[in-house]
A and B are shown apart, each in its own frame.
Chain A
Amino acid sequence: MATTSAPTDTSLRFDHVSMVFPDGTHAVDDVTFSLGPGELVSVVGPSGCGKSTLLRIASGLATASGGQVEVDTGDVGYVFQDATLLPWRNVQANVELLAELHGVPKDERRRLAAEAIELVWLQGFERQMPRRLSGGMKMRVSLARSLTLKPGVFLFDEPFGALDEITREKLNDELLRLFDSQRFAGLFVTHSVSEAVFLSTRVLVMSPRPGRILADVPVPFPYPRAPELRFTPEFAALAGEVSAALRGSR
Chain B
Amino acid sequence: MTTVLPDATTGSPPEEPAPEAGGQQPASGAGSPRRNGSRLATLVPPLGVLAVVLGIWNAFSYVLLEEDQRFLMPPPHKVVQVGILDTENLTEILRGLWQTTQVALVGLAISIVLGTLLAVAMSQARWVERSIYPYAVVLQTIPIIALVPLIGFWFDFNFRSRVIVCVTISLFPIITNTLFGLKSADRQLHDLFTLHGASRSTRLRKLLLPAALPAIFTGFRISAGLSVIGAIVGDFFFRQGDPGIGRLLDVYRNRLESEELFTAIFFSSLLGLVVFWGFGFLAHRLLRSWHDSAGGDH
Q: Which residues of A line the B interface, CB within 8 A?
A: 59-61, 76, 78, 80-82, 84, 86-88, 97-98, 100-102, 129-131
Contacts and interface: CB of A to CB of B under 8 A. Distances in A.
B186 A84 contact: yes
A131 B196 CA distance: 24
A132 to B, nearest CB: 9
A101 B193 contact: yes
B189 A129 contact: no
Contact of A86 (B189, B191, B198, B289): B189
A76 B192 CA distance: 11
A78 B291 contact: no
Interface string B182-212: 0000101101111111100010001100100
6 contacts: A82-B186, A84-B186, A86-B210, A88-B291, A97-B206, A131-B290
Contacts of B206: 86, 97, 100-101
B208 to A, nearest CB: 11
B189 A84 contact: yes
Interface residues of B, number: 20
A248 B252 CA distance: 86
Contact of A129 (B195, B210, B289): B289
Contacts of A84: 186, 188-189, 192
A86 B188 CA distance: 11
Interface of B: 186, 188-189, 191-198, 202, 206-207, 210, 213, 289-292
A61 B290 contact: no
B96 to A, nearest CB: 41
Contact of B195 (A61, A87, A88): A61
A87 B291 contact: yes
A80 B191 contact: yes
A61 B198 contact: no
Contacts of A130: 290
A101 B202 contact: yes
Given A60-B195, A88-B210, 12 more contacts: A59-B195, A78-B191, A78-B195, A80-B192, A84-B186, A84-B189, A84-B192, A86-B206, A101-B202, A102-B196, A102-B197, A131-B290
A88 B202 CA distance: 16
CB-CB nearest 4 A-B residue pairs: A101-B196, A87-B290, A80-B188, A84-B188
Contacts of B186: 82, 84
B197 A86 contact: no
B196 A98 contact: yes
Nearest to A82: B188
B212 to A, nearest CB: 11
A87 B291 CA distance: 8
A78 B292 CA distance: 28
A80 B191 CA distance: 9
A101 B199 CA distance: 9
A93 to B, nearest CB: 10
Contact of B194 (A61, A80, A100, A129): A61
A58 to B, nearest CB: 11
A76 B206 CA distance: 21
Contacts of B210: 86, 88
Nearest to A131: B290
Nearest to B203: A101
Given A81-B188, A129-B290, A86 B207 contact: yes
B290 A101 contact: no
Nearest to B199: A101
A82 B191 CA distance: 12
Contacts of A98: 192, 196
